[in-house]
Amino acid sequence: MRPAPVTADVASAYADAMESVFSSAVAGKAWFATVAVVLVIVQLSTAARIFGKIGNVLPLSSATAAVIHRWSGRLAFLATLPVVFHCVTILGFQTTDSRVAIHSVVGSLFYGAFAAKILFVRDHRFPGWVLPAAGGTLAAGLVVLWLTSSYWYFTEVNFGF
């Protein structure tokens, strides 16, 4: 009848850690996802610069843009880790309403899309349109995930830490 001690401890430790900073684990999750979305804007901007676009509004060399792109991507990935831990291992796949269902489906596919995108980055044999398409899809997915979670939380539940 009692939950397995290890899993209970992991969940409790996670919740305690989040609540040491935020009012609740859900609030913390919402803010981590928001950080990731902000970094995605950096990702899109620097990606455009790498491909020779928007030089007039983002006066960076391609090399500098590439460095920023890689590091903002790494930080965005890190910001998603507590979110995915909470969503996947604690809340799980749910379809209680359309918002939650959309979030669950897109969330399930997100890391798969991320893995494929990384592969496209490293394998230069694919057509030129593939990488921006994969990156754009990934960014769009993250925005959908943010809209169906953090945005909902901030507008319908509580805007605060």
Partner 1 sequence: MSTSSSPSWVRPAGLFIVVSAVIYALAVWQPFAPSGAATADNGLVGDPVAGEVLFAEGCAGCHGAAGEGGAGPVLQERMLEEAAVAGVVVNGRGTMPAGVFVDQDAQDVAAFVAQLSGGAPTAAPADDAAPDDGDEPAAAGPEPAGEATLFGDNLWGLSIRLDAPAPVDWTVWVDGSAALRPVGLIAAGGTALEEPNVGPPPVIDVYDRVLIGVDAGAPRLVGSISADEAERMRRISNADPDTPGGVALVDGAEADVAVFAEHTRFLTESVAEGNAANLRLHAEHLVNIAEGEPIEELDGDGVATNPGDGFGLVSGYLAALTEDGGDDVAGAVGPLRDALEQTVADARVCAEAQSIAEGADCAEAISGRADAIVTGWTATRTAAEGSLAVDLVEAG
Report the residue from 21, 51, 55, 89 that binds partner 1 according to the rule CB under 8 A: 89
For partner 1, the closer CB: 90 or 102: 90
Q: Give the list of residues 6+ apart from residue 131 with CB closer than 8 angstroms, or none.
A: 117, 120, 121
- 22 touches partner 1 (CB under 8 A): no
Report the residue from 68, 87, 138, 142 that binds partner 1 according to the rule CB under 8 A: 87
- 158 touches partner 1 (CB under 8 A): yes
**x/- binding map, residues 90-129, to partner 1, per CB under 8 A?**
xxxx----------x--xxxxxxxxxx--xx--x-xx---
The distance of closest approach from Cβ of residue 119 to partner 1 in the complex, given in angstroms and rounded to an integer, is: 5
For partner 1, the closer CB: 45 or 149: 149
For partner 1, the closer CB: 56 or 98: 98
Both tokens assigned to 63: 């090399």
Q: Give the list of residues 6+ apart from residue 161 with CB closer than 8 angstroms, or none.
A: 21, 22, 23, 27, 31
Q: What are phi and psi of 60, to 5 degrees?
A: -120, 150
- 4 touches partner 1 (CB under 8 A): yes
Cα–Cα distance between 117 and 97 in angstroms, integer? 30
Cα–Cα distance between 115 and 118 in angstroms, integer? 5
Q: Give the list of residues 6+ apart from residue 19 with CB closer than 8 angstroms, or none.
A: 25, 28
In this structure, the dihedral spanned by the alpha carbons of residues 136, 141, 146 and 152, taken in order and rounded to 10 degrees, is 130
Residues in contact with partner 1 by the rule CB under 8 A? 1-4, 7-8, 10-12, 14, 16, 19, 23-26, 84-85, 87-93, 104, 107-116, 119-120, 123, 125-126, 156-158
